[in-house]
Amino acid sequence: MNKDKRLRFVSGAICPKCKKIDKIALTKDDKKIFCVSCDFEESRSEIKHKD
Ligand SMILES: [Zn+2]
């Protein structure tokens, strides 16, 4: 079981491009987020929560 095809979704995240919810997933290296529904992709630092 070395395959890692399971995507880790950002729960509750809404894609700013296609507006679909729960379609934003993390890349394997955690550095980017992307949408599985369209071609949206962004650096993960853009979505850090304000504290
Ligand atoms: Zn999208």
Domains in the chain: boundaries:
8-45
Q: Is the pLDDT of residue 12 over 90?
A: yes
**pLDDT confidence of residue 19:** 97
Decide: 31 and 43 in contact? Cβ < 8 Å: yes
Decide: 40 and 34 in contact? Cβ < 8 Å: yes
**pLDDT confidence of residue 6:** 82
| Distance from Cα 37 to the centre of ligand 1, integer Å | 5
| Distance from Cα 46 to the centre of ligand 1, integer Å | 16
**pLDDT confidence of residue 1:** 57
pTM recorded for the entire structure: 0.73
The model's pLDDT over 23-51, given as tens digits with 9 standing for 90+, comes to 999 998 989 999 999 999 999 875 555 66
8 forms beta bridges with: 26
| Between 42 and 5, the higher pLDDT residue | 42
CB neighbours (10 Å) of residue 11? Answer: 8
**pLDDT confidence of residue 7:** 87
| Distance from Cα 2 to the centre of ligand 1, integer Å | 28
